[in-house]
Structure 1
Amino acid sequence: MRARPIDEPNRVSSQLELLFDLTFVVAVAAVTAQLAHQIIQGHALDGIVPFLQVFFAIWWAWMNFTWFASSYDTDDVGYRVLTMVQMAGVLVLAAGVPAAAEHADFGFVTLGYVIMRIGLVVLWLRAGLEDPARRRTALRYAVGISVVTVGWLYHSVLAPVSAELPLFVLLALLELAVPLWAERAEPTTWHPHHIAERYGLFTIILLGESVLAVSRGVAAALKTSEISSPFVVIAVSGLVVLFSLWWLYFLVEAGEGLSGRRDRSYLWGYGHYGIFAALAALGAGLEVAVEQSGHGSIAGPFTVGYAVAIPVGVFLMLLWMVHALVVAESVIHPVLLSLCAVVVGVLPLAVPWIGVHGVVAAIAVSCVLLVAVTIAVNHVRVPAPDFGTVRGRRR
C-alpha cells in the first residue's frame, strides 16, 4: 500500500467507491424518512437534533473513507474486504436510525459506526506498515480514530442521559480534530480532482434521495385524497428547486481550486456537512409538503413551509462559503445569493395568503431567478474562449 500521486492523470472514482456510496443511499433514506415522520407528527423541533447527530455519523464515515481512498486506493483483495466491512457497518447504522430518532436509542447506530471504524483503522495500520514515508501520519490516524471510538462506546452505553448531548458535541469535535493532528506529521497525497468528484457524486446522491422523498410524499398523499392543483404545484416546484440547487452547486469546479489551496481543504470538506445535511433535510421537507397537500399531515402550514425554506436557505449560504474557499472570484455573486436566501426565509410568512403550495412555488421561482441571473452575469462578464489559442491545453 503506497501513496498514490497527487497529480495522477485521469483520476476518477472507482467502481468500488460507487458501490460503497450505494450503501449510504440506504442510510440517508432512513434518516430522511425519520425526519419527515417527526415533522408530519408535529414534532419537528424534537427531530432536528437526532437527525443532525445521525447524519453526522453518516457524513463523517463517508468522508473518512473518501479521503483515505484518495490517497491509498490499492484495490487489492485486502482493501476490498475491509471496504466491505465498512459497508456492512453503514447498513447496521441505517437499521438503527428509527430507534435513534424516536427513542434517542443510539445503540445500533453506534454499533454500525464502530464496525465502520474498525475497517478504517485496519486500513490505516496497513498504510503505516507499508508506506514508511507517512507511517507517523497513518499511525496517528489509527490511534486517534480508535480513542474517539472508545468515547462513542461510552457515550452509547454508560453516559448519563443528561450528559449525552454535551458528550456528543465533544466527541464530534475530537473527530474533526483527528485529521488536523494526523496530517501535521506528513500530509497525505489526496487527489484534488478526485476529491471534488467524490463530493459532487455524494451531492447527487442526496439530491436523488430528495426525489425519492418527494415520491414517498406523493404516494402518501394519493392514499388520502385525489390529485389536486396544490399537490401538482408542490410536486413540480420541488423538482424545480432540486434542479436549481444542482445547477448552482456545479457552477464551480472545485478540483482546480483545491489543487492550489490544499490548506483550505479542511474548511471546504467540513463545510459540506451543512450542505449535505441541508439537502437531506430538504428531502424531508418536500416529502411533508407533498403529503400535506393531501391532508395527510398534522403539522401546521408554517412548520411545513419552513421545513422547505430553511434547508434551501442554509444550502445557499453554505454553498457560497465553500465556493469562496477554493476560487478567487465566486461565480455566484454573494449579494444575489444572500438576497435569495433572505427571500426564501421570509416566504413562509405568506402561508396564510398563498398556502404551502404557493410558498414552495415561490421558493422554486426564487431559485430559478438566482440561476438565471448568475448565468446571465457570467455570460456577459466572461469572454468566449479563443479555441485557436487553447487547443490542446488541459482545461
Structure 2
Amino acid sequence: MSTAFRIPMSGRSTDERHRVSSPLELLFDLTFVVAIAQVAAQLAHAAEQGHALDKLGPYLMVFFAIWWAWMNFTWFASAYDTDDVPYRLMTLLQMGGVLVLAAGVPAAFESSDFTAIIVGYLIMRLALVGQWVRAAVEHPDGRATAVRYACGIAAVQVLWVAWGFLPVGVRPWLFLLGVVLELAVPLWAERPGTTSWHPHHIAERYGLFTIIVLGESVSASAIGVQKALAAHGVSAALVAIAVAGLVLLFALWWLYFLEPAAEGLAENREKSFFWGYGHYFVFAALAALGAGLEVAVQAGAEHAEVSDAAVEYAVAIPVAAFLLLLYVLHAPLVPEVVIRPLKTAAAIVLVLALPLASPVIGLVGVTIGIAVVAAALVAATLLDRSIAARRAQPGATA
C-alpha cells in the first residue's frame, strides 16, 4: 500500500460509496483498548472493596476524556482524512497522548492525581488543533468552521491545564463547566457550515467502539475468572456466572446492531449531535458492566467484601442504562425502532427488579436472570422482524 507524502485536505464527499474505517483508524482504536482497560480495572478494584460509588466520579471523569478524544478524532477523520504522511504523523502523536493518559489512570483513582491524564489529553488536543489548522489553510470552503474548531479546542484546553492546579475539592464543579464547554465547541464551530462527515462511516466507527468496550468487558470477566480460579478453583457458581456474563454481553452486542443508525443519520444530519453525544453513556455503561461482571465472578466463587446486592446492581444498572439509551438515541432517527419500546421497558423493569429477589435466588440466579432477559429481548425482536417480513411479502394476509 503506497501513501502520498501530501494530499490537500479538502472535505470528503458525504455520499462516498463503500466508505469504511481505514487501517489507521483501526490502529488508532487499539490505543483506546489500553485506556478503557485501565479505567475499567480501577472501577472493578474499587467495587471489590465496596467503594464503587466513591470512585464513580473519577471513573466518569476519566472516561469522558477517553471518549471525547476518540470522538473528536473520529468526526474529524470522517470529514478530512487524507491518509497522507502529515496526517498519519499527527495521528501517531494523538495515539501517544492516549497511551500517556492511560498510564495516568491508576494515579487518578488512587490519589486524585490527574497530571499524566492532563498531559496525555494535552498532547491529543494539540495534535487535533494542528489538524484543524491544516484544514483551515487547505480547505477554503470550510475555513470558518475549521478556525472555530481550532480556537475553541485550544481555549478549552487552557482551562483543563489550569484545572490541574486547583484544589481537589473544587475540581468536580469546574470539571462540569469544562465538559459543557467541550460539548459546546462543535455546536458553535459548525454554525457557519457543517463538516462533511459520512453517516455510514460514523455509524460503523461507533459500532466498532461499541465492540471495543464489549471486548473489554469480556476481558474483565476473564480476569475475574482467573482470580477466582487461582484462589478457590472451579465451582458451579463460578461457571454459571461466567457463562451468564458471556451470554449477556453477546445479547447486548446483538441488540446494539439490531438498531441501524447509518440511514437515520443520513436523513437527519441535524440530530447527529444528540446521537453522537448520547453514546458517552452507552459506552460508559458497557465499560462499567465489565467491571461489574469481573466482581460478580469473583464474588460467586468466594465471600467478597462487598455485598451481593451491590454486585448485582453493578451488573443490573449498566444493563438497564444500555437498554434505555439504545431506544432513546435511535428513536429520533428512524420512523420506527426495531426493538419495540414496550419490550424494552419490560426488560428494563425486570433487570432492575431481579436484585430484589436475591434473598431467594442469590447472586448466581440474579446474574443468570439478567442474561436471560437480554437474550429474551433479542429473541422477541427477531420474532417481531420475522412476522413483519412475512406480512410485507406480496399476497400476505394481515
Q: CA deviation at 1:101?
A: 1.1
TM-score normalised by L of structure 1: 0.96
- Point out the more displaced range, 70-79 or 377-386: 377-386
Please point out which of 35, 53, 58 is paired with 2:43: 35
Equivalent residue, structure 2, for 1:358: 365
Provide the rounded CA distance (Å) in 2 between the counterparts of 1:300 and 1:203. 29
What pairs up with 1:296-315 in 2 under 5 angstroms?
297-315=304-322
Does 2:343 align with 1:326? no
Q: Could you tell me which residue of structure 2 aligns to residue 270 of structure 1?
A: 277
Q: CA deviation at 1:31?
A: 0.2
Q: Distance in 1 between matches of 2:332 and 2:25?
A: 26
| 2:17 match: secondary structure | coil
Structure 1 position 215 matched with structure 2 position 222: yes
Q: Please say if 1:254 is aligned against 2:258.
A: no
CA shift at 1:325, angstroms?
2.2
Distance 1:11 1:375 in 2: 28
Rounded to whole Å, the distance in 2 between the matches of 1:379 and 1:41 is 46
Question: How many angstroms does 1:383 deviate by?
Answer: 3.8
Kindly indicate whether residue 145 of structure 2 is the aligned counterpart of residue 117 of structure 1: no
Distance 1:203 1:375 in 2: 21
Measured in 1, the distance between the counterparts of 2:88 and 2:279 equals 27
d(CA) in 1 for partners of 2:358 and 2:163?
Answer: 41
Task: Name the aligned partner's letter for residue 80 of structure 1.
Answer: R
- Tell me how far 1:386 sits from its aligned partner: 6.9
- d(CA) in 1 for partners of 2:186, 2:159: 17
- 1:79-103 per-residue CA deviation (whole Å, 9 max, x = no partner) reads 0000000000000000010111111
- 1:154 and 2:133 equivalent? no
* Cα-to-partner distance string for 1:322-372 (whole Å, 9 max, x where unaligned): 111211101111111011011101111222221111110000111111111
Look up the match of 1:286.
293
1:185 matched to 2:204? no
Aligned mate of 2:75, from 67, 79, 88: 67
The answer for the alignment partner of 2:3 in structure 1 is: none
Q: Percent of counterpart pairs with the same letter? A: 58
User: CA separation in 1, counterparts of 2:393 and 2:201?
Assistant: 28
| Unmatched 5+ stretches in structure 2 | 1-8
1:106 alignment counterpart:
114
What pairs up with 1:3-14 in 2 under 5 angstroms? Answer: 3-14=11-22
Match of 1:390? none
Partner of 1:392: none
Contact 1:221 1:296 in 2 (8 A): no
Distance 2:194 2:132 in 1: 14
Q: Does 1:335 align with 2:342?
A: yes
Partner of residue 88, structure 2: 80
Structure 2 residue 372 is matched with structure 1 residue 349:
no
Q: Write the distance in 1 (CA, Å) between the matches of 2:77 and 2:24.
A: 10
Residue 383 of structure 2 aligns to which amino acid in structure 1?
A
The letter of the residue matching 1:69 is: A
State the Cα deviation string for residues 202-250 of structure 1 (Å, max 9, x = none): 0011111000000100011012112111101100000000011011100
Matched, 1:172 2:179: yes
**Distance of 1:291 and 1:307 partners within structure 2:** 13
Contact residue 44 and residue 294 of structure 2 kept, 8 A: yes
Q: Could you tell me how far apart the structure 1 residues matched to 2:146 and 2:390 are?
A: 46
Distance (Å, rounded) in 2 between the aligned partners of 1:122 and 1:386: 54
Q: Secondary structure at the match of 1:184?
A: coil
Alignment size in residue pairs = 386
Q: Distance in 2 between matches of 1:333 and 1:322?
A: 14
Q: How does 1:15-30 map to 2 (within 5 A)?
A: 15-30=23-38
Counterpart of 2:249 in structure 1 is: 242
Q: Map Cα deviations across residues 140-189 of structure 1 (whole Å, 9 max, x no partner).
A: 000000010010011112x2222100100010011000000001011100
* CA distance in structure 1 between the aligned counterparts of 2:240 and 2:391, rounded to whole angstroms: 38
Match of 2:5 in 1: none
SS in 2 for 1:39: helix
In 1: Cα distance, 2:46 partner to 2:117 partner? 18
Aligned-CA RMSD value: 1.2
Distance, in Å, in 2 between the alignment partners of 1:51 and 1:353 is 32
* Correspondence 1:97 to 2:92: no
Secondary structure of 2:339's aligned partner: coil
The one-letter code of the counterpart of 2:266 is S
Please report how far the alpha carbon of residue 104 of structure 1 lies from its aligned counterpart in structure 2 after TM superposition: 1.4
Contact 1:282–1:307 (Cα < 8 Å) also in 2: yes
Q: Counterpart of 2:39 in structure 1: which amino acid?
A: V
Aligned-pair CA distance for 1:132: 0.4
